[in-house]
Structure 1
Amino acid sequence: MKQVLFVCLGNICRSPMAEAVMRDLIEKRGLSDQIKVDSAGTSNYHIGEPPHKGTKAKLQEFGITTSGMQARQLRSSDLHNFDYIVCMDESNVANTIEMLRAEGDVKIFRFLDLTTHKKDVPDPWYTGDFQETYELCLEGCEALLNRILDDFKK
């Protein structure tokens, strides 16, 4: 069993979008019993809230559900409970490393480093562009899923 945690600032836009997209990909490939996914925020701004209405609307366009998802804050046990801690931007990487006291831990990395983009996922809370976030999440999740499948072979 591999476990993935997506991390952004508030856990209502980017990381829950990535969580939902990844769950959808995993389910479609019949891997739900082998890979588990969750998301968290580095801040405590939105604890207990559902994903942002823009995130939910964008995912609904593609038949992807956010049912039962609630924002939560990153906690110290996450470092030990997850195999991959995937951060939406460089600031999230730095905050996650600091919060988890995980300096140099290779399982914490920036999401789009797995793609050709090598950039941060823009926050649609500020940009309003949920389509771009969705496209980047889909590309990143496909790349991450391929990495996980490769790791299963090792």
Structure 2
Amino acid sequence: MYIKLSFHRIFTFKIPLRWEREGLCCIRYTFILLRFITEFSTPRNMIITGAYRRIGNICRSPIAEAVFAEIVKEKGLEDDWEVDSAALIGYHTGKNPDRRAMEVLKAKGIKDYSHKARTLESNDYTKFDWIFGMDEDNLEELERKKPQRCKATIELLGKHDPDGKLIIRDPYYDNNSAGFYEVYEQCDRSIRAFLQKHS
């Protein structure tokens, strides 16, 4: 749920004279602000899934997660969005992203990203508003695992690529970092287009 509340309607109230004298009006104001943020302003969020029948959550999906977080920060939307990434299998659960993925992120100026691989859970389908796969295998497996109570929109991240490249190829078995740079560029284009539409 994401509800924007009108500032002047929520915070218009008469401050007792004794509050002003005792300097308590700021405390009261802060308390009300925090209460309404906690109860009514839940960020929209997304999860990006990793490879199926390969490894999982150490190559493409962490790059996409890091890129999404960086773009959200760049646009000042940190309070509006929450992002995570996960694998469809638990082969590398608890491990760091692929070294080449981290090198690409650092080369692109994203130097504070850290992540431990995890596996997609059934409650992710109700917690997250969007679940993105990278290829058709991802999408097929996401649909297969989907519970009846699923609230998330499930689609390919590449659906939003303005260059029309629907599939984000897994570069895990490449001999160099070129494929990882390509993943970065595809994710950057797709996420910017997605946020332009939904923010």
Decide: shared fold, TM above 0.5.
Answer: yes
Q: TM-score, normalised by structure 2?
A: 0.70
The question of 1:148 aligning with 2:198 is answered yes
Q: Where in structure 2 are there 5+ consecutive unaligned residues?
A: 1-42
1:59 is matched with which residue? 105
Measured in 1, the distance between the counterparts of 2:137 and 2:160 equals 17
1:108 is matched with which residue? 154
The question of 1:39 aligning with 2:54 is answered no
What is the aligned-residue identity percentage? 33
Decide whether aligned partners of structure 1 residues 102 and 118 sit closer, same or farther in structure 2, where only a CA change above 3 A counts: farther
1:8 is matched with which residue? 50
**Among residues 66, 77, 94, which one is paired with 1:20 in the alignment?**
66
1:100, distance to aligned residue in structure 2 (A): 2.4
Measured in 1, the distance between the counterparts of 2:172 and 2:46 equals 23
The question of 1:119 aligning with 2:166 is answered yes
Measured in 2, the distance between the counterparts of 1:68 and 1:134 equals 16
1:104, distance to aligned residue in structure 2 (A): 9.4
Measured in 1, the distance between the counterparts of 2:76 and 2:160 equals 23
Counterpart residue identity of residue 3, structure 1: N
Measured in 2, the distance between the counterparts of 1:73 and 1:104 equals 17
1:147, distance to aligned residue in structure 2 (A): 2.6
Decide whether aligned partners of structure 1 residues 90 and 104 sit closer, same or farther in structure 2, where only a CA change above 3 A counts: farther
- Find the structure with the greater CA-based Rg: 2
Measured in 2, the distance between the counterparts of 1:45 and 1:66 equals 25
Structure 1 segments (4+ residues) deviating >3 Å? 65-68, 101-106
Decide whether aligned partners of structure 1 residues 56 and 91 sit closer, same or farther in structure 2, where only a CA change above 3 A counts: same
1:133 is matched with which residue? 183
1:50, distance to aligned residue in structure 2 (A): 1.0
Q: TM-score, normalised by structure 1?
A: 0.89
Decide whether aligned partners of structure 1 residues 18 and 103 sit closer, same or farther in structure 2, where only a CA change above 3 A counts: same
1:81 is matched with which residue? 127
Count of aligned pairs between the two proteins: 149
Q: Where in structure 1 are there 5+ consecutive unaligned residues?
A: 150-154
Measured in 2, the distance between the counterparts of 1:28 and 1:78 equals 26
Counterpart residue identity of residue 124, structure 2: D
Decide whether aligned partners of structure 1 residues 118 and 104 sit closer, same or farther in structure 2, where only a CA change above 3 A counts: farther
Decide whether aligned partners of structure 1 residues 134 and 118 sit closer, same or farther in structure 2, where only a CA change above 3 A counts: closer
Measured in 2, the distance between the counterparts of 1:122 and 1:63 equals 22
1:152 is matched with which residue? none
Decide whether aligned partners of structure 1 residues 38 and 21 sit closer, same or farther in structure 2, where only a CA change above 3 A counts: same
Counterpart residue identity of residue 192, structure 2: E
